[in-house]
Amino acid sequence: MSETPAGVAREVRLVATPEGLPEAGHLAVVEAPIPVPKPGEVLVRNRWFQVFPSLRTVIAGGVPGAPFPPLHPGDTLFGPAVGEVVAAAEGEDGGPRPGDLVFHYQGWREYAVVPVSAPPANALPDPAAYLAPGATAYAALTAVAGLRPGETVFVTGGSGAVGSLAGQIARRLGAGRVVGSTGSAAKAGRMVAEFGYDATVPRDATLRERLAEAAPDGVDVVVDNVGGEQLQAAVAAARPGARIVLIGTLAAQLSAASSGTTAPVELDTFQLIVKDITVRGLLSVDERTGAEWVERFGGWLRSGEITFPHTRIAGIDRAPEALQGLLSGRYVGTVVVEL
Amino acid sequence: MSETPAGVAREVRLVATPEGLPEAGHLAVVEAPIPVPKPGEVLVRNRWFQVFPSLRTVIAGGVPGAPFPPLHPGDTLFGPAVGEVVAAAEGEDGGPRPGDLVFHYQGWREYAVVPVSAPPANALPDPAAYLAPGATAYAALTAVAGLRPGETVFVTGGSGAVGSLAGQIARRLGAGRVVGSTGSAAKAGRMVAEFGYDATVPRDATLRERLAEAAPDGVDVVVDNVGGEQLQAAVAAARPGARIVLIGTLAAQLSAASSGTTAPVELDTFQLIVKDITVRGLLSVDERTGAEWVERFGGWLRSGEITFPHTRIAGIDRAPEALQGLLSGRYVGTVVVEL
C-alpha cells in the first residue's frame, strides 16, 4: 500500500479578481485536504513551481481564444511545476515510482494529483531547470525563425525567463550579434556578462535610437516578449526578410494602465510588406522540438556553455508576493518557488 | 539596319505631387523624343501597361525602404508593361527579334528602351494577362501560406487585380470555402459568378459580423490587399494556425484622409500569440514560383478553368483618368491601358 501523507496541505487561491495589477489580498495561501489520486493518477509532492507573467491575464479573466481557462475567485492557481511522486498509482505497473520527479502544470500547491503519463523530470542536472521556458526560446530561434549563423538577433525583455535563455541560445546557434532590451542597468550588466548579449538597449523613449546604434545593419530575427513600443522598434529596425516571433506581451502585463487581457500595438503594414517581414505568434512548442531542447539544454548545462538564470523564492507563503514582484519587474530569469 | 520610327511619342508624367488622391492636373500626357537604345538594349513599342494602386504611394513620395524609387514632378510614371520589339539590338545575336513581345517595367509610355534580357511574353493566350499580378496571388496561397485542400480562404479586396485571381486560384487549389470582401454589390455578384468566391462580405461596419456568418468556422488563410479594419477583421476570424499574407494596403491608398505612404493598423498581439497566427508581408515572388505560375496560368486559361479578369482602357490619353478611376474603386480586375 502507498503511504499517502495524512492531513492538509497549502495552496494559493485567487480571492478576488484584481481590477489592475494584483496586490496583497487578491491571492491567499489556504489549507485544503491533500487530494486523493483516482485510477490512472499519482499523488506528487511539489518541489518547485514557476511564477510567470501570463498569470496576470489568467486571473484578470483570461484572453478570448486562449487555451488555458481563466481563473475565478476561489480557484487555485496553476502553472509549470516539478514534483516528487509520493506513491505509485494503484494497479499501474509502468507508471512513475515513488521518489521519481515529474513535470506537470499543477503548480501553486504543495500536493498535486497528476496523470501517470506526466513526463519524467530527471534529464537536467537541476530539476528546477525544467521550469525554464527555454523550449519556447529555442523553438522561436530554430523551428520558427530559422536563425542562420551570422544573423543579428534582438530580444525584447532580455533579462526575463525567456530572454535570459534566448540570448545564450542565440549565441550557441552562431548569431553574429545579440541585442536585448531591459528596464534596468543592473539587469543590462548581467545580460552582457552572463546571458550572451553583445549590447543592451533601454526600455524608454530612446529605444529606437539606441537600437539603431546597437544593431547598425538592422535585425534579422526578433524574439519579442514585450510587444507594444518595443515591437514597433523591432519592426523599424528589421532588415528585409526579418522574422519576428511573438512570445509574450509584458508591455500589457506589467502595466497598471492596461487590462492585461489585450495587447494592442499599431503596426505599419506598408513596412511589413516592403521589408518582407514575417510576424508569427508562438503559443506552444511541438513535441519534437521540446525533446530536442531538453537534450541540448542538458548537454549545454553540463558542459557549462549555458546557465539556467533564475530567481529562487523559498516557500509557498512568499509565492503571492513573488507574483507581485515579477509584475513589477523585480526579478531576473525564471522565477521559481521552492517548497 | 533597324527601322526606328522617327519623331516623337507620348508618355505620362507627374506634373505635381498630390497632397491627397491624384486629380486632373497632377499627371499629364506629354510628347517626348522616341528613346534610342544603347548596346544591350532594344526599343519596344508598348502594347499594354498596368494601372496599379501602389502608384498612389510612389507619386506621393514613396515609402521608406521600398525597392522602387519615388517619383518627382517631371518624372515619367512606370509599371508592368508588355511591348513589341521594334528592332533587333545592334550586335546582339541571341536577343529578342522584331515583333517579339517582351515583359518589362517601363509602362506609361508608347515607346520604351529595355534590356535585351527582358523576358518574353508569349506563353499566355492573351499577352495582356502578363500584367495580372497573379504570380503574387499564387505565391501567397502556395509558397507563403501553404494552403491545404479543404481550408477556408478570406481575400480582402476580392474584386481587384490580385483578388479576382486569388479567388479562382484558391478554388483550383482545393480550398474548402472562399470568402472575399468588396465595396459594391455589382462587384460582389461578379466575385461569386466569375471569380471563384462562395460568399462576399461588405466593406463597411458590418464586416466582422458578416465574415463570422460567411465563415462560421473561421478562416485559415488570408490574402490581404487592403489592411486596416479588414486586416483586423481577418485576425478576429482567424483560426488557430492561420496564415495571413499581406500584399496590399488599399485602405491607405484609396483613402483621401491618408497620406498614402503609411498603412497603420492596430493589432492585438495576444490574439496573434494565442491563435499561433503568422502575418507575412509579401513583396516579390521568387523566380521559380513566378515561372510555375505562368505555366499553370497558361494551362488554366487555355482549358477555361480560370479567366483573366480585367478592365481595358483604350489609349494613353485616358491613362491619367484611369489611375483616378482605380483609386476611386471604379474597376474590376487588372486595369490595362491598351495602346
Neighbours of B24 (CB within 10 A): 9
CA distance A244 to chain B (A): 10
Q: What is the pLDDT of residue B94?
A: 74
Tell me whether B265 touches chain A (CB under 8 Å).
yes
Backbone angles phi, psi at A177, to 5 degrees: -150, 140
CA B88/CA B91 separation, integer angstroms: 9
Would you give per-residue pLDDT tens digits along chain A (339 residues)? 344 456 799 999 999 999 889 998 999 999 999 999 999 999 999 999 999 999 999 998 888 777 778 999 999 999 999 999 998 777 666 789 999 999 999 999 999 999 999 999 999 999 999 999 999 999 999 999 999 999 999 999 999 999 999 999 999 999 999 999 999 999 999 999 999 999 999 999 999 999 999 999 999 999 999 999 999 999 999 999 999 999 999 998 888 888 778 899 999 999 999 999 999 999 999 999 999 999 999 999 999 999 999 999 999 999 999 999 999 999 999 999 999
Cross-chain Cβ contact B282/A264 below 8 Å: no
Q: What is the pLDDT of residue B69?
A: 85
Q: Check: CB of residue B60 under 8 Å from CB of residue B261.
A: yes
Q: Which of B67, B274, B277 minimises the CB distance to A67?
A: B274
CA A242/CA A278 separation, integer angstroms: 6
Chain A environment of B275 (Cβ under 8 Å):
65, 281, 283
CA distance A284 to chain B (A): 8
Minimal-distance CA residue of chain B relative to A261 = B270
Tell me whether A63 touches chain B (CB under 8 Å).
yes
Angle at B160 between CA B159 and CA B164, to 5 degrees: 55
Q: Check: CB of residue A72 under 8 Å from CB of residue A100.
A: no
Chain A environment of B267 (Cβ under 8 Å):
264-267
Q: Check: CB of residue B158 under 8 Å from CB of residue B129.
A: no
Domain boundaries in chain A? 8-131+308-338, 134-281
Which residues, at least 6 apart from B96, have a Cβ–Cβ distance to it below 8 Å? Answer: B42, B85, B88, B102, B116, B118, B120
- Tell me which fold the domain A8-131+308-338 belongs to: Quinone Oxidoreductase; Chain A, domain 1 (3.90.180)
CA distance A37 to chain B (A): 31
CA distance A16 to chain B (A): 23
CA distances B42 to A30, B35, B39, B117, Å, are: 85, 10, 8, 9
Q: What is the pLDDT of residue A2?
A: 42
Neighbours of A22 (CB within 10 A): 22
Tell me whether A271 touches chain B (CB under 8 Å).
yes
Q: Give the tens place of pLDDT for each residue, B271-310.
A: 999 999 999 999 999 999 999 999 999 999 999 999 999 9
Cross-chain Cβ contact B283/A264 below 8 Å: no
Q: What is the pLDDT of residue A261?
A: 84
Choose, out of A270, A280, A282, the residue to mutate when testing the contact with B (most B CBs < 10 Å). A270
Tell me whether A238 touches chain B (CB under 8 Å).
no
| B35-55: burial string, b at 16+ Cβ within 10 Å, e else | bebeeebbbbebbbbbbbbbb
Choose, out of A274, A278, A282, A286, the residue to mutate when testing the contact with B (most B CBs < 10 Å). A274
Going by C-alpha positions, the residue among A12, A13, A45 that lies closest to residue A113 is A45
Chain A environment of B280 (Cβ under 8 Å):
272, 276-279
Would you give per-residue pLDDT tens digits along chain B (339 residues)? 344 456 799 999 999 999 889 998 999 999 999 999 999 999 999 999 999 999 999 998 888 777 778 999 999 999 999 999 998 777 666 789 999 999 999 999 999 999 999 999 999 999 999 999 999 999 999 999 999 999 999 999 999 999 999 999 999 999 999 999 999 999 999 999 999 999 999 999 999 999 999 999 999 999 999 999 999 999 999 999 999 999 999 998 888 888 788 899 999 999 999 999 999 999 999 999 999 999 999 999 999 999 999 999 999 999 999 999 999 999 999 999 999
CA A81/CA A112 separation, integer angstroms: 10
* Total-model pTM: 0.94
Cross-chain Cβ contact A275/B283 below 8 Å: yes
Minimal-distance CA residue of chain B relative to A260 = B270
Tell me whether B65 touches chain A (CB under 8 Å).
yes
Tell me whether B284 touches chain A (CB under 8 Å).
yes
Instruction: Say yes or no: do domains B8-131+308-338 and B134-281 share a fold.
Output: no
Cross-chain Cβ contact A280/B284 below 8 Å: no
Q: Which of B57, B248, B270 minimises the CB distance to A263?
A: B270
Cross-chain Cβ contact B263/A268 below 8 Å: yes
- Grouping H, G, I as helix, E, B as strand and the rest as coil, residue A218 is coil
Q: What is the pLDDT of residue B92?
A: 64
Tell me whether A273 touches chain B (CB under 8 Å).
yes
Q: Check: CB of residue A53 under 8 Å from CB of residue A16.
A: no
Q: Check: CB of residue A43 under 8 Å from CB of residue A37.
A: yes
Q: Which of A263, A278, A281 minimises the CB distance to B280?
A: A278
Tell me whether B279 touches chain A (CB under 8 Å).
yes
Angle at A31 between CA A27 and CA A35, to 5 degrees: 115
Chain A environment of B69 (Cβ under 8 Å):
none
Choose, out of B223, B273, B278, the residue to mutate when testing the contact with A (most A CBs < 10 Å). B273
Which residues, at least 6 apart from B1, have a Cβ–Cβ distance to it below 8 Å? Answer: none
Which residues, at least 6 apart from B316, have a Cβ–Cβ distance to it below 8 Å? Answer: B10, B11, B12, B29, B108, B109, B110, B337, B339
What one-letter code names the amino acid at B303?
Answer: S
Cross-chain Cβ contact B273/A283 below 8 Å: yes
CA B101/CA B21 separation, integer angstroms: 34
Torsion (CA) B295, B301, B307, B309 in degrees, nearest 10: 60
Q: Check: CB of residue A200 under 8 Å from CB of residue A158.
A: yes
* Domain at B134-281: CATH code: 3.40.50.720
Complex confidence, ipTM: 0.92
CA distance A166 to chain B (A): 18
Choose, out of B253, B258, B270, the residue to mutate when testing the contact with A (most A CBs < 10 Å). B270
Cross-chain Cβ contact A277/B281 below 8 Å: yes
Going by C-alpha positions, the residue among A74, A96, A22, A83 that lies closest to residue A50 is A83
CA A225/CA B282 separation, integer angstroms: 25
Tell me whether B69 touches chain A (CB under 8 Å).
no
No. of helices (H) and no. of strands (E), chain B: 10, 15
Chain A environment of B261 (Cβ under 8 Å):
270
Q: What is the pLDDT of residue A316?
A: 97
Residue owning grid cell 485602405:
B251
CA distance A298 to chain B (A): 28
Going by C-alpha positions, the residue among A202, A145, A200 that lies closest to residue A169 is A145
Q: Which of B67, B265, B272 minimises the CB distance to A281?
A: B272
